[in-house]
Amino acid sequence: MRILVAGGDGFCGWPTALYLSVQGHEVLIVDNFSRRRWDEELGTESLTRISGLDARIARWRELTGREIKTAVGDLAEERFAYEVVAGFRPDALVHFAEQRSAPYSMIDRSHAVFTQVNNVVGTLNLLFAIGEVSPDCHLIKLGTMGEYGTPNIDIEEGYITIEHKGRTDTLPYPKQPGSFYHLSKVHDSHNIMFACRTWGLKATDLNQGVVYNVETGETASDPVLTNRYDYDGIFGTALNRFCAQAANGDQITVYGQGGQTRGFIDIRDTVRCIELAANNPPEPGEFRVFNQFTEQWSVLQLARLVEKVARSLDLEPDLVHLANPRVEKETHYYNAANTRLMDLGLKPHLLDEETVERLLLTAMENRDRIHPETFAPQVDWRRPHYG
């Protein structure tokens, strides 16, 4: 297939592009390098040293003989979005090209507005481009489990069948997003569903959990292909931050009680899920939703796991609790369905001490790149800032 990977220079997009290339697909990466610029804005950097995209592509070609094409531009600009879809005519379009950080979207008004305009407009541009020039293209959109929030009932995969006053219908599962970023994903889902129903497009919304681990077989095969390792308080996941804190001799900081429970997935399973979705497209007019996670962990469980593995490596981190800067339930019911990708053949990697040890060792090897001042919470959900 011809597969366009939007956001193909990023944490999920880069390993996905390499994995799809290995499977024999013709891959086009589209990116505008905004993720790299946000590091500069925030005064941080990937814990691993990452090469420029041109160097990455050249090294991939040298190692495998496979060509990956690139197009540099912003999908929020309608002319670029149209031209790149019209020029490549993809069979599938994998859409990672969005601002993906909840804390970043909550910094102030300008960051919230940017997040929603960038994410929602970029997706709308792609929908119109696909609908006009490539209507058979399968849109594979990375959503988030954060669209659902933490309801006191089981979370289904996209839809829920309800009975109300004697009548029954299957409807989109209620959304309770927790940030302006998560709200942008909800808007995306609604827009994509409408485009499928109205124009006969076909799309898969992958509501992904928190991604852990850093490398896949492809990115780990050569230093030039190394993937990102984000650990700061804005873009880093809690697990990565805990590992960097332990490696740097700092306290492991848990927000609130640590009972917040979410779905998690290994980056190696992320790329496999993309392949499964691409190889098993929906019917025209169908908007389907897969919950893309493999297991559930609470924040405190992750912190204690990192603490245990760190002590086995002769590190001695203290685990402390901080006031939670987010507005979220700290203890809650959480039971989400995730069977549809398993039914397609996903065999998950599960989080274990060996994976955490690799993350810790990588952090220790790159300790000179850690910016400990970025560990502390920098955004207060409760105080709007007109910035």
User: pLDDT tens across 298-311, in order?
Assistant: 999 999 999 999 99
pLDDT at position 337, please? 98
Q: For 222-244, what is the mean pLDDT?
A: 97
* pTM for the full predicted model: 0.98
175 is catalytic: no
N residues, the chain: 387
Minimal CA–CA distance to 361: which of 215, 255, 188? 215
What single-letter DSSP state applies at residue 155?
B
Asked if 85 and 133 touch (Cβ cutoff 8 Å), the reply is yes
How much of the chain exceeds pLDDT 90, in percent? 99
Q: What does residue 288 show for φ and ψ, rounded to 5 degrees?
A: -110, 155
Tokens at residue 350, please?
Answer: 């599960």
Q: Is the pLDDT of residue 247 over 90?
A: yes
- Among candidate residues 44, 144, 261, 362, the one labeled active-site is 144
Spatial CB neighbours of 371, under 8 Å, sequence gap ≥ 6: 43, 44, 45, 232
Q: For 257-262, what is the mean pLDDT?
A: 97
296-312 core/surface letters (b: 16 or more CB in 10 A; e: else): bbbbbebbbbbbebbee
Spatial CB neighbours of 104, under 8 Å, sequence gap ≥ 6: 38, 111, 115, 181, 234, 235, 379
144 is catalytic: yes
- Among candidate residues 82, 181, 212, 334, the one labeled active-site is 181
pLDDT at position 164, please? 98
Name all domains of the chain by residue range, CATH numbers in brackets. Answer: 2-374 (3.40.50.720)
How much of the chain exceeds pLDDT 70, in percent? 100
* Averaged confidence pLDDT in the chain: 98
pLDDT band (50, 70, 90) for residue 229: very high
pLDDT band (50, 70, 90) for residue 205: very high
pLDDT at position 319, please? 98
Q: Is the pLDDT of residue 29 over 90?
A: yes
Asked if 301 and 259 touch (Cβ cutoff 8 Å), the reply is no
User: pLDDT tens across 56-68, in order?
Assistant: 999 999 999 999 9
pLDDT at position 165, please? 98
User: pLDDT tens across 127-138, in order?
Assistant: 999 999 999 999
Angle at alpha carbon of residue 338, lines to 179 and 283, rounded to 5°:
95
d(CA 220, CA 182): 31
Tokens at residue 82, please?
Answer: 């149209």
- Among candidate residues 150, 173, 185, 255, the one labeled active-site is 185
Q: For 152-181, what is the mean pLDDT?
A: 98
pLDDT band (50, 70, 90) for residue 387: confident
pLDDT at position 264, please? 98
